[in-house]
Amino acid sequence: MAKTRTVYRCTDCGAEFPKWAGRCESCSAWNTLVEEVVAPTTTSKRTAARAAGGVAGRTVTLGSVTSSDTPRWRTGLDEFDFVLGGGIVPGSMVLVGGEPGIGKSTLLLQVAARLEAAGQATLYVSGEESALQVRLRAERLAEDASAVSLLTETSLETILATAAQPTGDGRPVRALIVDSIQTVHTELLEGAPGNVGQVRECAARLMRFAKDSGTTVFVIGHVTKGGGIAGPKTLEHIVDTVLYFEGDSTLDHRVLRATKNRFGSVDEIGVFRMVSTGLIPVDNPSALFVGDRREVASGSAVCALMEGTRPVLVEVQALAAKAGFGTPQRVANGIDARRLALLLAVLDKRGGFSCAQLDVFCNVVGGMRVQEPSVDLAVVAALASSVVDKPLPSHAVFLGELGLGGEVRPVSQAERRLAEAAKLGMTTAFMSDRAIPRRVPGDITVIGVRTLVDVLQRTVGKDAS
């Protein structure tokens, strides 16, 4: 019997090394090498023939490939269907990641109940909880999940064999949900469930099963301390769609974000509210994140973001207070801390508002995570408003990227952002004078600005230098 060997594999790029090192020589990432036990593989006649001289494969012309107009499956959870691009694609593999307790299992159990009610046989595989625990969760849901087939198993071979067989009423399994990929193991590899080799091999075989059988596979993945899905980075490359379930456990809403989608747009978001009976889709996310604007304190500004193809209004709050210690604090929640530092420097150099002796706190309301630079103008306007303690116009929206020279740059899809702002009752929009659309939707008044100083003069008065 051949002996196993130990290698060290990078969780970011998948490169293999014979010994451990602090830094991956392939992608230069630090502390990403993990130990992996590799079992020898048996060489079949076909594999030996390929290794010797190769076996010619059968080719086809693209014109001879026929496409099947298989409709997507709609679950009735509108936000979930929207993030997927219009519904579930048969034969696809979807990876759902998120922090513990955020609601991943609850969401997919609701999806399983709705698919079963629509006539699609669903198999829910739980490797972390017993059948009784899953049943107790199902009883709290508004959907009736009593008809969903349940399997408590961690062996990949058993899971695939069960999914390949018809259900008790003779229907083929059309949707397979695995909770979670870190608990599943295959007998072909040595090592405990959850290590790099087991996760990669199990995901690859589940993907092959989805493509060969036409069964849609949903896989739940845990996240690391850094926020990424645990396991090798190649796990995200294998699957068709990667969804991240985000949100603060202290809040009642959750954000489902698509970071990869072969069948739809990326960076789409869906918003849910967590209630006692499960997750409820939020029809108007902008109203949730902006809230009531009748009485607004200083340091509050509204920006319109583009999350995929959907415009969403968010409220940015900033607080500048006298530093209580020698070194002022810089706290950013929802935006990149380095981006905040850059905007503070521009506000000081180009706008005349110095925060060198002030503690600065910046927060995006509702736990939203902002990545695009169109929020820059809202951040600096909120900071300046907090410094002089003068509220900004309550029904104004700020759209623009801020350059290092203090210039306000245009944003993409300005007309759609303005339409969303007008829908929520905004009456004024500050944006670059180079990007004012020809047709302004609604009754919103667009004020074109060229530099940061123009914005500050029109909102909080002249600069504070």
Binding-site entries for ATP = 98-105
Task: Give residue for tokens 């198993």.
Answer: 153
CB 431 within 8 A of CB 449: yes
Opening angle at CA 205, ends 201 and 211, nearest 5: 145
* CA pair distance 115, 434, nearest whole angstrom: 48
> What are the DSSP calls for 271-297, one per residue?
EEEEETTEEEE-S-HHHHHH---SS--
Q: What angle do CA 434, 391, 465 make, to 5 degrees?
A: 75
Query: CB-based contacts of 297: which residues, under 8 Å, 6+ apart?
Result: 391
Pairwise CA distance, residues 108 & 95, whole Å: 11
Q: Residues forming the annotated binding site?
A: 98-105
Q: Are 451 and 407 in contact (CB under 8 A)?
A: yes
DSSP letters for 172-238: PP-EEEEE-GGG-B-TTS-S-TTSHHHHHHHHHHHHHHHHHH--EEEEEEEB-TTSSBSS-THHHHH
Q: How many C-beta neighbours within 10 Å does residue 170 have?
A: 7
Q: Residue 264 belongs to what H/E stretch?
A: none
Contact call for residues 402 and 343 (beta carbons, < 8 A): yes
Please choose, from the candidates 131, 94, 110, the residue with its C-alpha nearest in 3D space to the C-alpha of residue 220. 94
Neighbour-count burial of 162, counting CB atoms closer than 10 A to its CB (0-12 exposed, 13-18 middle, 19+ buried): middle
76 Cβ contact partners less than 8 Å away, ≥ 6 residues apart: 114, 118
Cis peptide before 432 (omega within 30 of 0): no
300 near 109, Cβ under 8 Å?
no
Q: CB neighbours of 344 closer than 8 A, spacing ≥ 6?
A: 330, 355, 360, 383
Q: How far apart are CA 362 and CA 356, in angstroms?
A: 15
